[in-house]
Structure 1
Amino acid sequence: MLRTADEELTIDELAARAGVTVRTVRFYASRGLLPPPRLRGRVGLYGADHLARLDLIRELQNLGFTLTAIEGHLERIPDDAPPEELALQRALLAPWTSDQAEEIDREELDRRAGRALSDEETEQLLTLGILERITDGPDDNDEQRLRLTSSSMLNVGLQITELRLPREMLLQAKHIVEQHTSQMASELRELFAANVLRPYVERGRPESERERVRTAADQLRPLTIQVLVNGFQRAVNDVIRNHV
């Protein structure tokens, strides 16, 4: 939520509003992640821009950015960037899926599957990358500690296991999908950056264009997914026709 630009907060009020400790605010400031406060006498006052930066830092942390990576990202944003510009940065970084990887045990996996899964079925889910085995903990029973990478894909994975396909085939299919989707994601991101983001930055991040950029980023997510699905379906149809 954006705040009014003339809002002034002490460091204690800033920390409380942002949901962090005063020590955390001071640490971020010492690393250059927050611009200096405005001084009134000997009291430092913070504003909506500082709150927006703290929101952005939290978003970057949730996305798995290291502190060094966060510093590198914020270095590219001017210290005097308004809260609206920082909100745009958050929108551009928003994940395309709400799925979060989570640690589960075999009992919870069986509960979500609706039945007790065999070791073979669990291995196939591991092969597909829907599950990952956690082996970095102190627990002696590490084989029971699993990471579910995508809860929305669990049902899809279970349906695939019922097909009893060879493991090598699944590995090759997974590699093909990951290779091409990663390449498409990288190329489409660069296309958007070259034609929308970089021109916006080069023009000095004009306020009049900010909402257009944010809207384009938001609306392109579902549109891109739909185009990719339809394009893949057409490509499969073409392959079938060419091999009849």
Structure 2
Amino acid sequence: MSAAEGSDNEGLLTIDELASAVGMTVRTTRYYATLGLIPQPIRRGRIAYYDEGHKARLEMVRALQDHGFTLQAIEGYMGGLPAEITVDELVLRRAMLIPWAPQAREELSKAKLEALAGRKLTASDLETLVAMRAIEASGRSWVPQPAFRIGIDLLGLDIPLDSIVSAGEAIHEHISVLARELTAIMKTQVLEPFRSGQHTPEEARAFEETVARLRQLTVEAVVVEFQRTANDLITGSLVRPAAGDA
């Protein structure tokens, strides 16, 4: 390769380098390319190269996968992106897709689910785990959710399962409201102000890392605040009213 050719290819990636950069196999990367999830490569003679735009689109595909989107849904979403969309815009869109608690979606047979749980699971156990949102039914398979280990531990407690499910429903109801409010704040007060300015792809990627860290700290803050409030309620219930305060 001549010095001129090396300069022309600066910043470009081969299919192997692109796959490695996004954490995919070359086979999967090629398959996604055939589906049109990324544009045609840049040709330099017989060699195909890929740039930051290709990489950003594949990273978007990974983010959608992490959220449980089917391949068909991903094709629809990617097909709806503007052809002229920039790398920094792709990065910012992906920032809103960063999972609050990343977990790869994996469908397991009952035997593999029991192996993961470390115990046998009866039909009643499975129904309870579904009700607790610890697992999700998917045809004849099961998909563990972030609360899977908690659900398994709760099954081992000698308390009525109905009370566990009721507590889970209360948590889900209030957390759903909180999640909507926090997501709206993140979008309107963090993402959109940043989006309104001009930024380089590097600045957008740094912002994406900031959003990921902010979400982690937000989850920790929610846990700490719940613990503080619960402790205050317990302490308050133990304080005896003074004489004449009844």
TM-score bracket for this pair, using the shorter chain length: 0.5 to 0.7
The 2-side partners of 1:153 and 1:25 are apart by 35
In structure 1, give the amino acid aligned to 2:170.
I
In 2, are the aligned partners of 1:103 and 1:147 still within 8 Å (CA)? yes
The 1-side partners of 2:144 and 2:149 are apart by 13
Shift of 1:225: 1.5
In structure 2, relative to structure 1, the CA distance for the partners of 1:228 and 1:102 (3 Å cut) is same
In structure 2, give the amino acid aligned to 1:47.
D
Q: 2:187 matched to 1:193?
A: yes
Structure 2 partner of 1:160? 154
In structure 2, relative to structure 1, the CA distance for the partners of 1:243 and 1:71 (3 Å cut) is farther
- Which of 63, 68, 81 is equivalent to 2:86? 81
Task: Report the 3-state secondary structure (helix = DSSP H, G, I; strand = E; otherwise coil) of the residue aligned with 1:148.
Answer: strand
The 1-side partners of 2:41 and 2:110 are apart by 50
> Which segments of 5 or more consecutive residues in structure 1 lack a partner in the other structure?
137-144
Shift of 1:220: 0.9
Task: Report the 3-state secondary structure (helix = DSSP H, G, I; strand = E; otherwise coil) of the residue aligned with 1:108.
Answer: helix
Normalising to structure 1: TM-score of the pair?
0.68
In 2, are the aligned partners of 1:15 and 1:25 still within 8 Å (CA)? no
In structure 2, give the amino acid aligned to 1:79.
E
In 2, are the aligned partners of 1:127 and 1:167 still within 8 Å (CA)? no
Shift of 1:179: 1.8
Shift of 1:169: 2.6
In structure 2, relative to structure 1, the CA distance for the partners of 1:79 and 1:113 (3 Å cut) is same
Structure 2 partner of 1:174? 168
The 2-side partners of 1:148 and 1:24 are apart by 24
> Which segments of 5 or more consecutive residues in structure 2 lack a partner in the other structure?
1-7, 20-25, 239-246
| Alignment root-mean-square deviation, CA | 3.8
In 1, are the aligned partners of 2:128 and 2:161 still within 8 Å (CA)? yes
Structure 1 partner of 2:243? none
Runs of 4+ in 1 over 6 A off after TM superposition: 35-40
Shift of 1:175: 1.7
Deviations 1:129-168 (A, max 9, x none): 223344x4xxxxxxxx441323x64432232123343344
In structure 2, relative to structure 1, the CA distance for the partners of 1:49 and 1:109 (3 Å cut) is closer
Task: Report the 3-state secondary structure (helix = DSSP H, G, I; strand = E; otherwise coil) of the residue aligned with 2:107.
Answer: strand
In 1, are the aligned partners of 2:66 and 2:99 still within 8 Å (CA)? no
Structure 2 partner of 1:139? none
In structure 2, give the amino acid aligned to 1:109.
L
Normalising to structure 2: TM-score of the pair?
0.67
Shift of 1:52: 2.5
In structure 2, relative to structure 1, the CA distance for the partners of 1:242 and 1:16 (3 Å cut) is closer
